[in-house]
Chain A
Amino acid sequence: MPESCHTSPAAPVSPDARTLALVGHPNVGKSVLFHRLTGTYVNVSNYPGTTVEVARAAARFDRAASMLDTPGVLALPSRSEDERATMRALLNENLRLIVQVGDAKNLRRTLNLTALLTELGVPLVMALNMTDEARARGVTVDVEALAETLATPVVATVATGGEGVAALTEALPHAKAPAPMLRYDTETEQAIHTVTALIAERAPHPHLAARGLAILLLGRDKEVASWISAQAGGAEILAKVEEIAPLVGRESLPARLARERGRAAEALAKTVSQQSAGADRTLSLLVGQLAVHPIWGWPLLLLMLLVVYFFVGDFGAGTLVGLLEEDFFGEILNPAVTTFVQTHLGSGWLSELFVGEYGLWTMGMTYALALILPIVTTFFLAFGVLEDSGYFTRLSVIANRAFGAIGLNGRAVLPMVLGLGCVTMATLTTRILNTPRERLITTFLLALAIPCSAQLGVVFGVLGGISFGAAAIWGVCIVLILLVTGWLAGKLVKGQRVPLITELPPMRLPVLGNVLKKTSGRLKWYLVEVIPLFLLGTFIMFVLDRLGVLPWIIEAGKPVVTGWLGLPSEASAAFVMGFLRRDFGATGLFALGNQLSMIQAVVGMVTITLFVPCVASVMIIFKEQGWRTAVLMLAIIMPVAFFVGGVVNHVLHLFL
Chain B
Amino acid sequence: MTPPPPPHLERIRLTGTPTGRSVRLAEFGEEIDPLQREQLLAYGLSGAQSITVLQQRPMTVVLCEHMELALERDVAQHIWVEAE
Interface residues of A (CB under 8 A from B): 74-75, 79, 105-109, 112, 133-134, 137, 139, 252, 254-255, 258-259, 262-263, 266, 280, 285, 288-289, 292-294, 297, 396-398, 400-401, 409-410, 434, 498-504, 506
Supplied contacts A75-B38, A400-B59, A501-B71, 12 more A-B pairs, CB within 8 Å: A74-B43, A75-B39, A75-B42, A108-B65, A133-B66, A266-B49, A289-B55, A292-B55, A292-B70, A502-B70, A504-B68, A504-B70
State whether the Cβ of B35 lies closer than 8 Å to any Cβ in chain A: yes
Mask for B29-51, Cβ within 8 A of A = 1, else 0? 00001111111111110110100
Q: Is the CB–CB distance between B70 and A293 below 8 Å?
A: no
A105, A410, A500 — most chain B CB neighbours (10 Å): A500
Closest CB of chain A to B74's CB: distance in Å? 4
A37 to B12, CA, bound (A): 48
A213 to B68, CA, bound (A): 32
The chain B residue with its CB closest to the CB of A79 is B35
Interface residues of B (CB under 8 A from A): 33-44, 46-47, 49, 54-55, 57-59, 61, 63, 65-75
- A289 with B38, Cβ < 8 A, contacts A105-B66, A266-B47, A400-B72 known: no
Closest CB of chain B to A366's CB: distance in Å? 46
A258 to B68, CA, bound (A): 21
Chain A binding surface SS class: helix
Closest CB of chain A to B35's CB: distance in Å? 6
A442 to B32, CA, bound (A): 24
- A501 with B66, Cβ < 8 A, contacts A255-B34, A397-B58 known: no
Closest CB of chain B to A320's CB: distance in Å? 38
The chain A residue with its CB closest to the CB of B35 is A79
Closest CB of chain A to B72's CB: distance in Å? 4
Closest CB of chain A to B12's CB: distance in Å? 20
A36 to B69, CA, bound (A): 29
Q: Is the CB–CB distance between B47 and A263 below 8 Å?
A: yes
The one of A266, A288, A396 that contacts B46, using a Cβ cutoff of 8 Å: A266
The chain A residue with its CB closest to the CB of B56 is A294
Closest CB of chain B to A415's CB: distance in Å? 17
Q: Is the CB–CB distance between B70 and A501 below 8 Å?
A: yes
Closest CB of chain B to A128's CB: distance in Å? 14
Closest CB of chain B to A280's CB: distance in Å? 7
* B33 neighbours in A (Cβ, 8 Å): 498
A397 to B73, CA, bound (A): 12
The chain A residue with its CB closest to the CB of B54 is A289
Closest CB of chain A to B28's CB: distance in Å? 9
The chain A residue with its CB closest to the CB of B67 is A106
Q: Is the CB–CB distance between B70 and A259 below 8 Å?
A: no
Q: Is the CB–CB distance between A106 and B66 below 8 Å?
A: yes
* B66 neighbours in A (Cβ, 8 Å): 105-106, 133-134, 137, 139, 280
